[in-house]
């Protein structure tokens, strides 16, 4: 398999039965670092197929994977730790390569297509994320990052309303847009709906 | 607050204060048109004025029979038998008494270690606490990991088979134990298999009750909207799982952890009120929007949305009790830490013993998310007596008010279909029958607080909303989460009058269709332009300046 021209998208399905997107987020970011894979957009996805719900991940590759190592070597590396993986090239409907058992392949394919088409996915890395490191007006967010729109989960927003990203910005894809949901925070600012520390797992 | 007197107290012959109608949101209902379900049938008029009481003491709680006792309680309390908590059963009981409660339920988390080690030990502590606190009803319960859902309070009345019932229930039906046995992938697994195990669990409790192992057993879903796990069809499923008397009777209208939103600048932990403010996860019900994951005025979005999830259940013509609890794990500004060595304070230690050592009080006051039982919230139950089964009966029938910060000392909500002036009506949680075309009188007697709450404030009840909607029968869509015709019918302005009893009146003329009515009241400090509570802000939600009470409904049938 030789490297293909065009943008490459990687889909990953851990197939471990887990449903924790935050846990998966750390797994996939660690994986990319470990394999020296450069990606400018990384998402987690909730995928349901044949009655099975799981979380999967996607990444838009920007460098090395399209280089000499090639996709096959990449998949070989992934196979050891991930149950399912798929690579989509540009606008193709079918993966150029994939690996893993059928269920996990489906998860990986679904995730990668969702991200590529902007239909769904929770972005854990996206262009401009590093600029959202301190308070700024919500109207500025689409100007400095890939976030398309800032939407209030409750209440109303003015363009000069200040967003405090609090170091944790996880917008999601929806109908082709990358949307950041926000909510009221202290002193008239807004904050992302997704908090850094959710009380979701512990006994509380 | 202690409400062990017949209710309302015999002080209503004192001059009641003025209460005037502030808004009439449904003014001219009769002209709204037949398409609206509240329609001409509920055309009404309001009056709120000082009332003398020409008939002497008012009717008391019941229609026939004895007066109700109004007993305050808390059905969600954690102890050292939870992996994430600390206190003794007896400590909670002493605090509950100090803060005026009459009943409380110990609800430690279901887990493998809890089921194996803690149930019997908790029972011994509960028995000792009952002996030490004869004025307090102390129930033994469990915080159940509902398979496929949220947590829930499950508790039983004392009986020969109480410990065995709780232990077997936890073993067979707790999501943590089911997932440890790989019967489900995880406690919250969103599957029909998991849901059916939950319904089976409720039927198991009903069977234990029928067999006499326990005099009664109840289940209430806790912090329902926190993670979006309890779909509307699951709430209906809990309600309908058992034939005869229900076991799944309701939910926390307000979660515990009410101190969690106190700002850091005020010495709080600056988190989300109720530890809400989460986002959907793969097991969440997709029909719940992002706005539903917050509290509003300290109450769950299911309840605060007029015409929302709770109303959609009530519109079916059945009660679904709402409450408020403490969910006490670690109490704000307390000085306790876990006892023992550092190792003995870890969850690893808990997992091998099912408990922690007694807490030690040697720290500076620590910020935390919780209040002691009764300190902030009280679930007031109209009971036929001071007994374990009477309180449970009142809860099941939804003769219940949920009150925060002692916003009211007492409420007597009455609907009278007899053609008299409302004093003889049925009260909260009850049902009355009106002749088609007759008039209905509503009387709300509110006793305003006479002394400061436990924050040292004398609360002012600013408004009371009369909310109602048509009863439209069983929902065809079990995931229905709206009751579009339910609305605020009348807003009464109340105001400052410590210790006085205010009578608020409303009259429906020419009723033709069944409906239900409920109340909410607030201190009026945090409202939107429609009188609804505001979303609680992350890190800036002082619960003491945003007080509410909610009633459960009264149903009016029409023949």
Q: For B148-187, write each residue's pLDDT tens digit.
A: 999 999 999 999 999 999 999 999 999 999 999 999 999 9
**Among candidate residues A139, A201, A183, the one with its CA nearest the CA of residue B539:** A183
**How far apart are alpha carbons A66 and A7 in whole angstroms?**
8
Banded pLDDT at B258 (limits 50, 70, 90)? very high
Q: Which range has highest mean pLDDT (A90-94, A195-199, B60-64)?
A: A90-94
Which pair of tokens denotes residue B485? Answer: 């015709």
Q: What are phi and psi of B106, to 5 degrees?
A: -85, 120
- What is the pLDDT at residue A81? 67
| B351 reaches A (C-beta below 8 A) | no
**Contact map slice: B 518-537 vs A, CB within 8 A:** 535, 537
Per-residue pLDDT, averaged over B540-545, amounts to: 98
Convert B2-36 to b/e letters by CB count within 10 Å (16 or more is b): ebeebbbbeebeeebbebebbbbebeebeeeeeeb
Instruction: Please provide the average confidence, as pLDDT, over all residues in chain B.
Output: 89
| A188 reaches B (C-beta below 8 A) | no
pLDDT at residue B10 tops 50: no
| B456 reaches A (C-beta below 8 A) | no
- What is the pLDDT at residue A69? 54
Per-residue pLDDT, averaged over B134-144, amounts to: 98
Residues with Cβ within 8 Å of residue A197, at least 6 apart in sequence: none
Banded pLDDT at B56 (limits 50, 70, 90)? very low
Residue B238 C-alpha, separation from nearest chain A C-alpha, in angstroms: 22
pLDDT at residue B35 tops 50: no
Nearest CA in chain A to B273: A199
- Chain B positions touching A195 (Cβ under 8 A) are 272, 277-278, 538
The DSSP secondary structure of A37-83, one letter per residue, reads --EEEEEEEEEEETTEEEEEEEEEE-SGGGSTTHHHHHHHHHHTT-S
Q: For B183-204, write each residue's pLDDT tens digit.
A: 999 999 999 999 999 999 999 9
| B330 reaches A (C-beta below 8 A) | no
* Kind and range of the H or E run holding B252: strand B248-254
For chain B, how big is the Rg over CA atoms in Å?
A: 22
Find the distance separating the first CA and the last CA of chain B, reported in whole Å: 40
Q: For A28-53, write each residue's pLDDT tens digit.
A: 898 888 888 889 999 999 988 777 78
Instruction: Look at phi and psi of residue A176 and say left if phi exceeds 0, alpha if psi is from -120 to 50, else beta.
Output: left
Query: Among residues of chain B, what percentage have pLDDT more than 90?
Result: 86
**How far apart are alpha carbons B232 and B147 in whole angstroms?**
15
Q: For B470-527, write each residue's pLDDT tens digit.
A: 999 999 999 999 999 999 999 999 988 888 999 999 999 999 999 999 999 999 999 9
For chain A, how big is the Rg over CA atoms in Å?
A: 18
- What is the pLDDT at residue B341? 97
- What is the pLDDT at residue B66? 61
Residue B305 C-alpha, separation from nearest chain A C-alpha, in angstroms: 13
Which pair of tokens denotes residue B545? Answer: 């300046």
Of A46, A184, A203, the CB nearest to B535: A184
* Helix and strand numbers, DSSP H then E, in chain B: 11, 25
Place of tokens 């994951």: B293
- Chain A positions touching B369 (Cβ under 8 A) are 204
The answer to whether A186 contacts B186, with C-beta atoms less than 8 Å apart, is no
Which pair of tokens denotes residue B71? Answer: 């007993």
- Chain A positions touching B294 (Cβ under 8 A) are 153-154, 183
Predicted complex ipTM: 0.88
Per-residue pLDDT, averaged over B94-99, amounts to: 98
Q: Please check whether residue B109 is in contact with residue B350, taking contact to mean a CB–CB distance below 8 angstroms.
A: no
| B261 reaches A (C-beta below 8 A) | no
- Chain B positions touching A203 (Cβ under 8 A) are 78, 82-85, 109, 329
**Which of A18-22, A152-156, B455-459 has the weakest average pLDDT?**
A18-22
DSSP at A2: P
- What is the pLDDT at residue B15? 27
**How far apart are alpha carbons B370 and B368 in whole angstroms?**
6
- What is the pLDDT at residue A6? 72
| A181 reaches B (C-beta below 8 A) | yes
**How far apart are alpha carbons A67 and A78 in whole angstroms?**
17
């Amino acid at each position: 398999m030789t490297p293909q021209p065009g943008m490459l998208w990687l889909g990953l399905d851990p197939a471990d039965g887990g449903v924790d997107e935050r846990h998966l987020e750390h797994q996939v970011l660690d994986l990319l670092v470990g394999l020296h894979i450069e990606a400018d957009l990384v998402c987690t996805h909730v995928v349901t197929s044949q009655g099975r719900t799981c979380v999967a991940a996607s990444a838009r590759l920007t460098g090395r994977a399209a280089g000499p190592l090639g996709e096959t070597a990449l998949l070989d590396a992934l196979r050891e730790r991930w149950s399912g993986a798929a690579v989509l090239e540009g606008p193709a409907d079918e993966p150029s390569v994939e690996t893993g058992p059928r269920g996990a392949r489906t998860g990986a394919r679904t995730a990668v297509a969702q991200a590529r088409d902007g239909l769904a996915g929770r972005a854990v890395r996206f262009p401009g994320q590093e600029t959202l490191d301190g308070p700024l007006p919500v109207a500025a967010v689409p100007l400095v990052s890939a976030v398309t729109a800032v939407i209030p989960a409750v209440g109303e927003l003015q363009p000069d309303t200040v967003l405090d990203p609090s170091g944790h910005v996880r917008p999601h894809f929806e109908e082709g847009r990358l949307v950041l949901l926000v909510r009221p925070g202290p002193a008239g600012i807004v904050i992302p709906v997704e908090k850094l520390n959710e009380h979701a797992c512990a006994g509380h | 607050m202690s409400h062990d007197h017949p209710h309302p107290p015999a002080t209503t012959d004192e001059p009641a204060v003025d209460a005037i109608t502030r808004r009439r949101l449904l003014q001219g209902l009769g002209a709204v048109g037949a398409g609206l379900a509240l329609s001409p049938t509920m055309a009404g008029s309001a009056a709120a004025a000082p009332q003398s009481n020409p008939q002497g003491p008012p009717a008391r709680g019941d229609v026939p029979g004895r007066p109700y006792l109004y007993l305050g309680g808390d059905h969600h309390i954690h102890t050292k038998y939870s992996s994430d908590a600390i206190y003794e059963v007896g400590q909670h009981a002493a605090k509950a008494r100090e803060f005026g409660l009459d009943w409380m339920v110990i609800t430690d988390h279901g887990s493998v270690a809890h089921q194996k080690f803690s149930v019997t030990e908790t029972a011994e502590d509960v028995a000792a606490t009952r002996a030490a606190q004869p004025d307090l009803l102390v129930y033994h319960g469990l915080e159940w990991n509902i398979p496929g859902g949220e947590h829930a309070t499950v508790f039983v009345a004392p009986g020969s088979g109480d410990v065995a019932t709780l232990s077997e229930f936890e073993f067979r039906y707790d999501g943590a134990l089911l997932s440890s046995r790989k019967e489900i992938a995880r406690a919250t697994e969103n599957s029909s298999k998991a849901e059916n195990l939950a319904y089976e669990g409720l039927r198991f409790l009903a069977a234990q009750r029928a067999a006499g192992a326990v005099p009664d057993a109840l289940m209430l879903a806790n912090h329902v909207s926190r993670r979006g796990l309890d779909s509307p069809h699951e709430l209906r499923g809990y309600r309908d799982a058992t034939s005869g008397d229900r076991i799944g009777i309701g939910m926390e209208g307000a979660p515990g952890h009410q101190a969690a939103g106190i700002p850091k600048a005020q010495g709080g932990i600056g988190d989300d009120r109720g530890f809400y403010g989460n986002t959907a996860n793969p097991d969440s019900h997709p029909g719940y929007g992002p706005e539903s994951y917050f509290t509003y005025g300290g109450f769950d979005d299911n309840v605060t949305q007029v015409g929302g999830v709770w109303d959609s259940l009530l519109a079916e013509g059945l009660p679904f009790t709402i409450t408020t609890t403490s969910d006490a794990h670690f109490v704000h500004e307390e000085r306790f830490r876990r006892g023992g060595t550092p190792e003995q304070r870890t969850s690893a230690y808990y997992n091998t013993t099912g408990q922690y050592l007694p807490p030690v009080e040697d720290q500076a006051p620590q910020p935390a998310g919780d209040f002691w039982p009764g300190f902030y919230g009280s679930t007031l139950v109209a009971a036929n007596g001071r007994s374990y089964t009477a309180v449970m009966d009142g809860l099941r029938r939804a003769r219940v008010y949920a009150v925060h910060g002692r916003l009211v000392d007492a409420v007597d909500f009455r609907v009278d279909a007899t053609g008299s002036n409302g004093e003889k009506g049925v009260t909260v949680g009850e049902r009355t029958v009106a002749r088609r075309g007759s008039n209905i009188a509503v009387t709300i007697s509110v006793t305003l607080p006479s002394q400061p709450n436990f924050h040292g404030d004398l609360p002012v009840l600013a408004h009371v909303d009369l909310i109602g909607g048509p009863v439209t029968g069983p929902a065809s869509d079990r995931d229905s989460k709206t009751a579009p015709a339910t609305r605020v019918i009348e807003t009464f302005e109340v105001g400052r009058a410590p210790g006085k009893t205010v009578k608020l009146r409303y009259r429906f003329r020419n009723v033709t269709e069944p409906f239900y009515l409920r109340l909410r009241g607030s201190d009026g400090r945090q409202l939107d332009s429609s009188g609804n509570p505001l979303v609680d802000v992350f890190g800036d939600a002082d619960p003491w300046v945003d007080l509410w009470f909610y009633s459960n409904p009264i149903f009016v049938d029409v023949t």
